[in-house]
Amino acid sequence: MKYAILLSALSISFVAAYFSIVGLTAMFPAAFWSIVIMGSVLEVAKLVSASWLHHNWKICPRSLKIYLTTAVVVLVFITSMGIFGYLSKSYITHQTVAEETKIILSQLDDKIQREQDYIQRQNEYLEDLDKQKNTSTTNIVYNIELEQKKIDDLYSSLDKNLKIDNDEITRLNSRLKVLDEEVALLNAQSGGLFSSKKKKLEELTAKQKLERDEIKSKLTSAESRINKARGDTESQVKLIRAKIDERQNDTVGKEDLSLKKEEYNQNIQGSYAKIEAMEAEKFTHKNSQLEIEAEVGPVKYVAELLEDLGAQSIALAEAIRIIIVILIFVFDPLAVVMLLAANMSFKIANGKPYDKLSDQIKKKKVVEHKTIVKEVDPLTDDPKPEEPAKAIQSDEDDITEIKILK
């Protein structure tokens, strides 16, 4: 049983140390290996200090007791703080994916709405064509206005599309700025003779390289889309303006009206195809969102259970924090307590019964024993009358000191 307790204590301590170190490295990413080394030695020191205090409580000086006890408590708090950081990071990463999915769904909804508006405009154009008068002058003016409206619609659609890409570029540039600030912060640190500043910079640069390359690739793609959209729009506008110039010098016949109707109908069919593709993509992302929500479903039920028991309305993030706090309060402290329990088990197994804490901190007992001590008179060589003596016995080292009472 004693080995099982020891193994369980060390296992809990090892897992707690791992979670804590990973959580602390997430808080201080620029000093990854420093945090790993520091956290490892402090975790070992915490367990050794707790065990040493247990074995030497009776003979340990008061000042050393206070310091080591405080150090163990503080280290337990640091370990718990690291575990909190680790679990919080996992939840934040999960929420980031959920937020990105929401943004994608919102963008798809906007694009679908724009296509629906475009279809509505094309239908209006068809209705307007049906209502055109046969007068050539009226038709010319009407068609010129119609073509001009197309130009306005193209520029309006271009502005909406550019806004999405410009927002993406702004977000990516903000992330690049954060990465640059991390490098600048590390550069601003003073470096001594034995400083590993250069190595830290190289590690941070290597760590950021993949993300920076990805950001640059996305920026290039966004800028390419912007340039392509502008070029396509200008090409279409140029063609429309050519049509306007042509219509100003000609009349619109019935064949032209039929061609325009066919063009509008083709535009409508193309928009319906785009909407169908975006709806399929939206369905995929919606499934991903439901899967993410299902992963945090148990936490939601815990929050609802607390509300049913009389608590106020609890948000999901608050429920997560409550669960994390409950975990850290029983994680590392349990490891330390089980280590002390293992020490007690080994002490009992070795034939040394465990003393209560009240007995350990109690002062030495003084027990008086009556002893007959004989002393020879130097004049008569006769023994003096026997006198009682006091014995002071310490229950700590089992040494008896005899004092003669004269």
What whole-number distance in Å separates Cα of residue 184 and Cα of residue 180? 6
Treating both helix axes as pointing N-terminal to C-terminal, what angle do 62-130 and 2-27 enclose, rounded to 10 degrees?
50
Phi and psi dihedrals of 383, rounded to 5? -70, 140
In eight-state DSSP terms, residue 189 is S
What whole-number distance in Å separates Cα of residue 303 and Cα of residue 319? 6
Q: Which residues pair with 404 in a beta bridge?
A: 389
What whole-number distance in Å separates Cα of residue 243 and Cα of residue 144? 8
Residue pLDDT tens, the chain, 406 long: 777 877 887 888 888 888 888 888 877 877 788 888 888 888 888 888 888 888 888 888 888 889 988 998 998 888 888 888 888 887 777 777 777 888 888 888 888 999 899 899 888 888 877 776 555 566 677 778 888 888 888 888 888 888 888 888 888 888 888 888 888 887 777 655 555 777 777 787 888 788 888 888 888 888 888 888 888 888 888 888 888 877 766 654 555 677 788 888 888 888 889 888 888 888 888 887 777 766 666 766 666 776 776 666 667 677 777 778 888 888 788 888 888 888 788 777 776 555 554 555 554 443 333 333 444 444 444 444 444 443 333 333 333 333 333 3
Length of the chain: 406
Which pLDDT score is estimated for 299? 67
Which pLDDT score is estimated for 311? 62
Residues 6+ apart with CB under 8 A from 259: none
User: Could you tell me if 89 and 280 are in contact, meaning their C-beta atoms sit under 8 angstroms apart?
Assistant: no
Element (H, E) at 46: helix 32-55
DSSP-derived 3-state class of residue 162: helix
Lookup: tokens for 230? 């502008």
In the chain, where the domains are located: 110-278, 363-406
Q: Is the pTM of this model over 0.85?
A: no
- Render 296-355 in DSSP notation, one character per residue: THHHHHHHHHHHHTTPPP--HHHHHHHHHHHHHHHHHHHHHHHHHHHHHHHHHHTT-PPP
User: Could you tell me if 404 and 387 are in contact, meaning their C-beta atoms sit under 8 angstroms apart?
Assistant: yes
Closest alpha carbon to 225 in 153, 163, 280: 163
What whole-number distance in Å separates Cα of residue 263 and Cα of residue 268? 9
What whole-number distance in Å separates Cα of residue 140 and Cα of residue 112? 33
Which sign, positive or negative, has the C-alpha torsion 18, 329, 93, 78? negative
Please report how many Cα atoms fall inside a 13 Å half-sphere around the Cα of residue 44, on the Cβ side: 5
Lookup: tokens for 369? 């024993």
Q: Other C-beta atoms within 10 Å of 174: how many?
A: 9
Residues 6+ apart with CB under 8 A from 366: 392, 393
Which pLDDT score is estimated for 353? 55
Closest alpha carbon to 129 in 216, 257, 292: 257
DSSP-derived 3-state class of residue 380: coil
The stretches of 249-315 forming alpha helices (DSSP H) are: 254-295, 297-308
Cα→Cα distances 308→93, 298, 302, Å: 29, 15, 10
